[in-house]
Structure 1
Amino acid sequence: DELTAVNVKQGFNNQPAFTGDEHGSARNIVINPSKIGAYFSSILAEKLKLNTFQDTGKKKPQVNAKDNYWLVTARSQSAIHSWFSDLAGNKPLAILAKK
C-alpha cells in the first residue's frame, strides 16, 4: 500500500496476476467425459438396486380397478352420498369397506 500520486488519483488496484487455471489443481488431468458418464450410470444403477424393495416371500394381490371407484350417475348418487355421510359420521371403517 504505497501512497503514490497514481494510487491517490485512481485508487489502489489489488488485482492478483491471472494464472489461467484458477479452478484447477497442481496436477494436470485430462478428464474423459465417457468415463464420467459410465461412472455416473453405474452409481445410478447401484442406487436403483439398493432402493428396490425385494420381498419375494409375499406376492402382491392383483387390484381390480373396477373395485376401487364408483362411477357417479343419477342412479348411484344417493348411495354414494349416504356412504360419505356414514364416513363423516361414526360408522366403523370395517363396515364401510364392505359396502
Structure 2
Amino acid sequence: MAFQVIVYISNILGFYTYVLIARVLMSWVPDVERTSFGRILFKLTEPYLGIFRRFIPPLPLGGGYLDLSPIVGIFAWSFVQSGVVLVLQWLFL
C-alpha cells in the first residue's frame, strides 16, 4: 500500500515536470499563450517559475532575451521530486 502511494506521488510530481516543459515549448510560439490551453499552463506554472524570475534576469541576445529561469526551475523541481520520493521511502518502507 505504501509503495503504491509513493509511486502515485512520484507520478504526480513527474507530470508537473512535463507541464513545465510544455510551458517552455509553448513560449516559443507566441499565439499559443492566448489559447485556453496556454492560459491553463500559465496558471499552473507561473507561481512556481515566478520565484526563479525574481532572482534570474533574462540574458539579452541580439534583439531578444533568453529566460533561463525555466531551466533552473526544472532542475530544482527534479531535485524536489527526488527528495520527496526518498523521504517517503525512508518513512514508509
TM-score, normalised on structure 1? 0.23
TM-score, normalised on structure 2? 0.25
| Larger radius of gyration between Structure 1 and Structure 2 | 1
The answer to which structure, 1 or 2, has the higher relative contact order (CA under 8 A, 6+ apart) is 2
Q: Which has the higher helix share?
A: 2
Q: Which has the higher strand share?
A: 2
